Amino acid sequence: MTDWIDTLDGELFRPESAGYDVIRRPFHPAYRDMRPRLVALCRSVSDVVSIIKYAATTGDRIAPRGGGHCFAGRSSTDGIVLDLSGLDTISVAPEGLATIGAGARLAQVYAALHAHSRTVPGGCGPTVGITGLTLGGGIGLLGRKYGLTCDRLVGAQVVLADGSVVECDADHEPDLFWGLRGAGGGHFGVVTSLRFDTVPEPITTRIEAHWSGIAIEGLVSAWQAWAPDAPDELTVNLSLVSEPGVPVRATLFGASMLDEAATRELMQQFIDRAGATSTFDLRAGLPYSQLKSTFGDPLDEPERLTRLRSEFFSNPLADGSIASLLKQFSRTAGRRELALTAMGGAYNRIVDNATAFAHRSTRFLLEHIADADDPWVDESWATAHADGSGRVYPNFPDSALDDWASAYHADNYPRLAAVKRAYDPRRFFDFQQAI
């Protein structure tokens, strides 16, 4: 094996070479010590084709890496990493159709679209890759108005296991296009570019409020009854943090596409409903691209080894379940977080089988986050699961699931399995929990 492949326009590094040190490593520290045999810096679609064909002859596993944020480490391998960061060009047509390279990250995407007064509904983390986010669904602060990131996807270019390059949309390779919208990344091929029907970039009002040492149980009850049914233009999420020796802290944060006065009135209605006293901070007049940067990346703790489990909820948590969750939550020797994300709105106005994303009737998403060795994550998840839908966000892969196929894909799984057989019959793109 040589360090270079003649047909490759990009660069191929061995992990021990100096070049590897400058390559972006996986975001999650749990996978930073994994040493691939080779890392390919792809700068063209032909680079991707060459490496896939090469791996087919050597038997190496392939791991495409866009943002490198996969919680299950699927952007890492001991085989060959396809680093797609060189495929990050972004163009916007006059009618708002955006073509985005697979290696682009969200900060790049929002900035480039802002120049055209356009955007896509997506996540907050500036270093998250647009491709991984889209392929698993894509939840964000505009989603209750405009749907998932994948709901704005109108086409994609994909390199298949045999090295062929296909363009897919509603009229070309429609089954593949269906599967790319919400099943999760890496199942059928390597996506090299995405085409989005963008939306006008809204002017937003940033929302934030904090509580400490109050009756958190009432706050959670009020939020889960109110936030999923708020106007589509309003997304307000709730985060609870527990640390040793400190009262549980609650943070309400989100965004509104309504004006400041209307937003203030809605927020006051929630505060009154929760029976809480708080001064909430509103910052009006922010273009969406600027709003995103004010939140930063909530998971950007590179030295902290964390574990996350999650579940969608179609009905509110029972009062007893909330009480049990908070009792477990406060007995902590380390940092723990419960994060509640509002669904509803446009997320739920698409039928379950219209795209591969099968979770169209849920009200909120609940995440349990703590240090990787904290058993509380499983205990808390099990407590909440008694009231849960059994559905799990594909972008938050969970190795502890008993029935991952049903959890991620529900009734869409048989069709996804058929798409897998059609486009990757030899299961070249296989990994744990692969379709």
CATH code for the domain of 219: 3.40.462.20
Identify the residue whose tokens are 């990493």: 81
Sheet of 246-256, strands arranged across: 281-287, 203-212, 246-256, 234-243, 336-342, 364-371, 306-313
Residue 22 is predicted with a pLDDT of 43
Residue 304 is predicted with a pLDDT of 67
**pTM, 2 dp:** 0.92
My answer on whether 97 and 32 are in the same domain is no
What CATH code is carried by the domain that includes residue 32? Answer: 3.30.43.10
My answer on whether 217 and 326 are in the same domain is yes
Sheet of 190-197, strands arranged across: 90-92, 97-101, 190-197, 153-159, 165-168
My answer on whether 401 and 315 are in the same domain is yes
Whether the Cβ atoms of residue 329 and residue 248 lie closer than 8 Å to each other: yes
My answer on whether 245 and 373 are in the same domain is yes
In degrees, to the nearest 5, what angle opens at C-alpha 388 toward C-alphas 382 and 391? 105
My answer on whether 306 and 396 are in the same domain is yes
My answer on whether 142 and 215 are in the same domain is no
With respect to residue 226, please indicate whether it lies within any of the assigned structural domains. Answer: yes
* Euclidean distance between CA atoms 186 and 206, whole angstroms: 35
Whether the Cβ atoms of residue 276 and residue 218 lie closer than 8 Å to each other: yes
Q: Which amino acid is at 258?
A: L
Residue 1 is predicted with a pLDDT of 30
The SS3 of residue 206 is: strand
Whether the Cβ atoms of residue 165 and residue 193 lie closer than 8 Å to each other: no
My answer on whether 16 and 58 are in the same domain is yes
Whether the Cβ atoms of residue 223 and residue 253 lie closer than 8 Å to each other: no
Residue 4 is predicted with a pLDDT of 37
Give the end of a domain, one of 41, 56, 83.
Answer: 83
My answer on whether 157 and 192 are in the same domain is yes
Q: How many domains does the chain have?
A: 3
Residue 73 is predicted with a pLDDT of 63
Residues 5-54 have pLDDT tens digits of 433 455 555 555 544 444 456 666 665 667 788 888 899 999 999 999 99
* Euclidean distance between CA atoms 328 and 380, whole angstroms: 7
With respect to residue 98, please indicate whether it lies within any of the assigned structural domains. Answer: yes
Residue 119 is predicted with a pLDDT of 98
Which residue range(s) make up the domain with 275?
203-409
With respect to residue 267, please indicate whether it lies within any of the assigned structural domains. Answer: yes
With respect to residue 6, please indicate whether it lies within any of the assigned structural domains. Answer: no
Residue 6 is predicted with a pLDDT of 36
My answer on whether 63 and 29 are in the same domain is yes
The single-letter DSSP state of residue 26 is P
From first to last of the 435 residues of the chain, give the pLDDT tens digit. 333 343 345 555 555 554 444 445 666 666 566 778 888 889 999 999 999 999 999 999 999 988 777 776 677 888 899 999 999 999 999 999 999 999 999 999 999 999 999 999 998 888 899 999 999 999 999 999 999 999 999 999 999 999 999 999 999 999 999 999 999 999 999 999 999 999 999 999 999 999 887 789 999 999 999 999 999 999 999 999 999 888 899 999 999 999 999 999 999 999 988 887 777 899 999 999 999 778 755 445 555 678 999 999 999 999 999 999 999 998 767 899 999 999 999 999 999 999 999 999 999 999 999 998 999 999 999 999 999 999 999 999 999 999 999 999 999 999 999 999 999 999 999 988 889
Give the end of a domain, one of 61, 83, 105.
Answer: 83
Whether the Cβ atoms of residue 212 and residue 248 lie closer than 8 Å to each other: yes
What CATH code is carried by the domain that includes residue 100? Answer: 3.30.465.10
Residue 303 is predicted with a pLDDT of 59
Residue 24 is predicted with a pLDDT of 59
> How many of the other CB atoms lie within 10 Å of CB of 79?
15
